[in-house]
Amino acid sequence: QVQLVESWGGLVQAGGSLRLSCATSGRLVTSAAMGWFRQAPGKEREFVAAITWSGGITYYADSVKGRCTISPDKAKNTVYLQMNILKPEDTAVYYCASHPHLMTAVRGAYHYWGRGTQVTVSS
């Protein structure tokens, strides 16, 4: 059983930066993978980034590659999503997710989800 809690998002101007965090509780095995997804109004939930908990291998969606960095803090059982050069189209509810041992962009594969946090980028 894993519980995920995202930090508060926020309002940021286009071109600015924001860091989201996802704190985990319960048992998170060393083989786990963590992912970030986002969902804009009227749109499907889409993949943003993922990382293996033990090895630090990362994977990014083309829409954010070069602008976002996913990283772990194992001492705090927390994963971060650093977002730079934000655009209005980045506006969405951002969700943290985990899988026991697979790093994937397929949202249906993830077993645990946070409740989401709102990120708004103004133009």
Name the residue with tokens 């994963």: 79
User: Which tens digit of pLDDT belongs to each residue from 15-38?
Assistant: 999 999 999 887 666 678 999 999
Cα 73 from Cα 28, distance rounded (Å)? 13
Q: Of 113, 81, 109, 120, which Cα lies nearest the Cα of 96?
A: 113
Ramachandran quadrant class, 49 (left: phi over 0; alpha: psi -120 to 50; beta: rest):
beta
User: Which tens digit of pLDDT belongs to each residue from 47-100?
Assistant: 999 999 888 899 999 999 999 999 999 888 899 999 999 999 999 999 999 998
Specify whether the CB–CB gap between 93 and 32 falls below 8 A: no
C-alpha 61, offset from chain centre: 11
Instruction: Calculate Rg over the CA atoms of the chain.
Output: 13
Cα 17 from Cα 85, distance rounded (Å)? 6
pLDDT at res. 90: 97
pLDDT at res. 29: 65
Tokens representing 102 are 């697979």
Tokens representing 64 are 């954010």
pLDDT at res. 32: 86
